[in-house]
Structure 1
Amino acid sequence: IVVIPNVTDADQVAAAEKLYTELNQAGIETLLDDRNERAGVKFKDADLVGIPYRIVTGRSLQQGKVEVVKRATHEAQEILLADVVATLQQWMSVI
């Protein structure tokens, strides 16, 4: 899993760092892509490496949500921040 914030937005970076910590503490191997690159570059790199899920902290963060994208299907869902860890644990148990 990779968490991708907009590094120019402090709220997005803080939310991404919190998710990164929570996911790793839950035993889910997670990367934080806080490089100073455009989002598209980060998305492409995550796909190239084969990371199965991408969490994007974007505009939906104002509603307390993040976008989670499944690499295999390119399906995107907005999920409440509080539900991200449990949702990903459930999805990963199905794999």
Structure 2
Amino acid sequence: MSRRRSLEVIEQAEFVTISELVRLSGNRYSTLKYYSEEGILPFEQEESRLTRRYHRESALQRLKEIQEYKEEGLSIQEIKTRLLDKQE
């Protein structure tokens, strides 16, 4: 197992792991995994057995958008629809 990167290093990194994103965002691991599986939190993964990598800035921005939609009372399905409509 690799050594855990310091928060200072994570805050400067272009890509982060899901565990590092948990530390940056304050969201639970299970929540971020669910968002990833639902397709509303994009990640990169070169091969099926490799770690998912999240672009730090865009992932944090997306989490902020999701939180705003949740505060409006939208369901995950409604949030997914809004985010997909926004991409088109």
Question: Please, what TM-score do these two structures have when normalized by structure 1?
Answer: 0.38
TM-score with structure 2 setting the length? 0.41
The structure in which a higher percent of residues are strand is 1
Query: Whose radius of gyration is greater, 1 or 2?
Result: 2
